Structure 1
Amino acid sequence: MDCWLTVPAVWSDQARHATKAAAKAAGFGSRAGDTISVISEPEAAAITVLKKYAQVGSINALQIGQVVLICDCGGGTVDITTYTIVETTPRLEFEEIVVGDGKACGSTFVDRNLHALMRERFGQAFDDVEPRRKGPGSRFMNQWESVKRSFGQSGSYLTKEIGPLNMRGVFTSEWYDDEDCLVKLTYEDVEGLFQPVVADIIGLVSDQSLELQKQWRALDRVLLVGGFGDSEYLHKKLSEWCEQNGISQAECPENPQAAIVRGAALRGLEGIAPNRRRCRRHYGVKISLPFREGIDPPSKGYTSRWSGRRSCRDRVDWLISKGDLVDQDTVRKVKICIYCRRDDDRWHKTRLVSSTLEVPPQYADDPRVDSVGTVTTDFRETNPSDFQSHREGLFGKKLWKLDFQLQVGFGSQAGVLDFKTFIKHELSGTASITFD
């Protein structure tokens, strides 16, 4: 059995690994031959909708070379990914052409805006209502969910009443029926709750379109998926943006809520996946490199115990850049040296860092560099002949040196970062990451 877990594309590497670890702890992938893999939600949704439109005879069939933006609007996050169609038959092939984007601006933020409006209008009376009567799963929020889903359809201009919500001390209010304990919401009220969230989503789509223009390319289609994707109001506003920018309209395929899980299943069953993706961040390792006079700060300089040369600490060796194309075979290697005494444990810790800036900083302690985690390499079972010896200092103590390569895999089918170690080009030792 192959288990595929869907996660928002904006999630960190730590969140992806933690989700996979939780599934394993729950019993998934516990049998010999079973696997657990992670797939991003917009990629899974893309597999579903692009496969549908790539079928022979389908309405509005995809054409080779078309540029399609997948707008995956969920409850918490919105992910934007743009693909170009490479082939439609006999097999669907597509690849990501600009770095995807995302933000926490899903449908639950409309709910938060509703609660903020309630506090503004009813103050302490709303705050005093028990969470079970106004929170997720309550009758109040279930009725609001019905209003939210239908908003934008015909008839949504009528004032809506949701409840019951018993608020003590509210007797006379144009927004509250104290006899039946119902909250009244006008069309303008509900639109005001939607507008800032929809504006954020359209902003993400617009930014992705601008990135395409830098490559002298333009959007051909926008496909709206996810639980929030079936919102009539969101669909209407996104379609208006498309018309203003020369795109026919924003299309919402049938059952947009199910597109993600269906795509994950298709990924496992048929192996459909983007040929290549775009790396969303720069990744590198904290390392010591030769000191550059006039460039590196003197405070970072030190003399190597092994070579006697001047080195610079806290430099970053950037392994892969934001926007680089990544496929399942994409790996990067960095040469690292271990210095230890003979009776020391033969292991090493390497700091993995990242950055979302266009040009990443040179030093790991720069506040704009994010620490991803610590990669621990263990060579206690390594053949001692792989080590070089060297006499050190006045006391005649020997240092032992081991040269190895740390390999980081960025395109693993498992959907998470993968680490391996090599000595003299042979797989040796173990490597694992502990996230910060």
Structure 2
Amino acid sequence: IIGSLSNLEIAEVCARSGANCGSIFLDMRFRELVRTLLAEHPAHLDPASQAYFMHAFAETDKLAYMGESDDENYFHFTCFNVEDPDDPSVGLVNGELAIPGILLRREVFDHVIESVLNLLEEQMAKVHDAPIDALLLVGGFSGSEYLFKRVEAQFRDRIKVIARPSDADTATSRGAAQYGLARRPLVSSVIAGRAYLMKVKLPAEHDDWMKRPAYIRENDAGVSICENRVQYLVQKGAILRKGQRIKTKFCKFSATPQDRIFVAVLYTSDSDKVMRYTDEGPVSELCKWSVDLGLLPSFQHHAVHGGNGQGFYTEFELGLELDSAEVRGVLLHQGDEVSRVVFDFFQ
């Protein structure tokens, strides 16, 4: 987003990440608390009564609740069925259910808010030492005074601006509607949230003999090859045009025309470090991409006319495309697409 807090504009659209831990989870925990308190009073546990309690909680106390300062206060919820006798031991008095603030905090609010704080910490850990300019709370739970107080207490020393934009409860929906109705690209760039790299075999260089001699093997053509090398397709933090195709050249030696499959082992990394070998830092295997080089005219030509029984090399290009929702791999011949595969969905 760009602009001032009073007039925010879309700068980049991305897929959601993290997990669900918002307003609906407060409702679920409140409902379980009511069921527990009124287990001996089934007259208040029919669907209409539960809906009545839930509505009262959602409309007032869910957002107004202040946390520890409300521990000694009681929150009163009118019962749908007022004919049931009083039971002060569970808070049933004069047709109302009275719940202590400290019980609401421990059984309803704290668990959900801790989940939110943990998710924020996980997101911050992924950017390492990169500065975070602002943290904006949006969605139905963003209006909670207790949530805002807890977030501000935990992050104010690390994030300068912690705020709720106007109409925060509908901010994401309005942004999605604006993006969908614009009928023009609102976002032209994508920031790679992590690095995409491949495990490759490359001709051994002096550094490889010095650093990883155990990785060096002689291939069928008698060339010294270093295994477990890393080739970056996209580095973390790279700013790409939406849908931009990043092309990388490769070469495969085929001993026979049947040796047509190039297996590309793709990895991702959240590290800012640029690695030479797969064992130099934290990497996660994303998938094994089996690329059928037999689809390439150059391979077909060599398979029929080349090699003289000694095998042959095929040069080719692989492309990587990123947008806001997925990552795609493309096999190319002279710049034209031959085949493609989707190998990463952003969750």
TM-score (norm 1): 0.56
Matched, 1:385 2:296: no
The whole-number CA distance in structure 2 between the counterparts of 1:265 and 1:239 is 29
Cα separation, partners in 2 of 1:315 and 1:183, compared to 1, 3 Å: farther
Q: Answer with 1 or 2: which has the greater Rg.
A: 2
Who is 2:340 aligned against? Answer: 431
Correspondence list, 1:135-154, <5 A: 140=50, 143-144=53-54, 147=57, 150=60, 151-153=62-64
Deviations 1:216-263 (Å, cap 9, x if unpaired)? x774x6532223223343245446778888967622422x44433332
- Indicate conservation of the 8 Å contact 2:21/2:115, yes or no: no
Structure 1: 5+ residue stretches without partners:
1-45, 63-91, 165-171, 392-396
Aligned alpha-carbon RMSD (Å): 5.0
**Is the contact made by 2:246 and 2:321 (CA closer than 8 Å) also made in structure 1?**
yes
Instruction: Give the corresponding residue for 2:83.
Output: none
What is the SS of the residue equivalent to 2:233?
strand
Paired residues for 1:320-339 under 5 Å: 320-328=234-242, 330-339=244-253
Is contact 1:379–1:429 with CA below 8 Å preserved after alignment?
no
SS at match of 2:236: coil
Report the counterpart of residue 84 of structure 2 in structure 1: none
The structural deviation recorded for 1:303 is 0.9
Q: How does 1:35-54 map to 2 (within 5 A)?
A: 46=1
Q: CA deviation at 1:100?
A: 11
2:140 corresponding residue in structure 1:
227
Over 3 Å counting, the alpha-carbon distance change for 1:280 and 1:143 in structure 2 is: farther
TM-fit CA distance, 1:407: 0.6
Distance 1:370 1:115, change over 3 A: farther
Query: CA–CA distance in 2 between the matches of 1:366 and 1:118?
Result: 53
Q: CA deviation at 1:408?
A: 0.3
Relative to structure 1, is the Cα distance of residues 419 and 101 closer, same or farther in structure 2, using a 3 angstrom cutoff?
A: closer
Aligned equivalent of 1:259: 171
> Which runs of 5 or more structure 2 residues have no equivalent in the other structure?
81-86
Q: Write the distance in 1 (CA, Å) between the matches of 2:313 and 2:292.
A: 14
- Cα drift, residue 302 of structure 1: 1.6
CA offsets, 1:152-176, max 9 Å, x none?
A: 4279843356999xxxxxxx99447
Shift of 1:293: 1.3
- 1:351 maps to amino acid: V
CA distance in 2, matches of 1:297, 1:260: 53
The structure-2 alpha-carbon separation of the partners of 1:286 and 1:253, relative to structure 1 and needing over 3 Å to count, comes to same
Q: Which has the higher helix share?
A: 2
Inter-partner Cα distance in structure 1 for 2:238 and 2:141:
30
- Taking a change above 3 Å as real, the CA distance of residues 145 and 277 of structure 1, as seen in their structure-2 partners, is farther
Within the alignment, does 1:415 sit opposite 2:325 as a pair? yes
Deviation at 1:404, TM superposition (A): 0.4
Deviations 1:361-397 (A, max 9, x none): 6544789421222333334343223668335xxxxx4
Once residues 243 and 415 of structure 1 are traced to their aligned partners in structure 2, the CA distance between those partners, rounded to angstroms, is 31
Check the 8 A contact 2:201/2:226 in 1, yes or no: yes
Q: Following superposition of structure 1 onto structure 2, how do residues 6-405 of structure 1 map, counting pairs within 5 Å?
A: 46=1, 60-61=6-7, 94=11, 103-104=18-19, 106-107=21-22, 110=26, 140=50, 143-144=53-54, 147=57, 150=60, 151-153=62-64, 157-160=73-76, 174-175=89-90, 185-192=99-106, 193-199=108-114, 201=116, 219=133, 222-238=135-151, 250-254=163-167, 256-270=168-182, 271=184, 273-291=186-204, 292-296=208-212, 298=214, 300-306=215-221, 308-328=222-242, 330-344=244-258, 346-359=260-273, 362-364=276-278, 368-383=282-297, 384-385=300-301, 389-390=306-307, 397-405=309-317
Identity of aligned residues (%): 18
Q: Secondary structure at the match of 1:390?
A: coil
8 Å contact from structure 1 (residues 224, 252) kept in 2:
yes
- Taking the aligned partners of 2:281 and 2:53, their CA distance within structure 1 comes to 45
CA gap of 1:428–1:231, structure 2 versus 1, over 3 A, is same
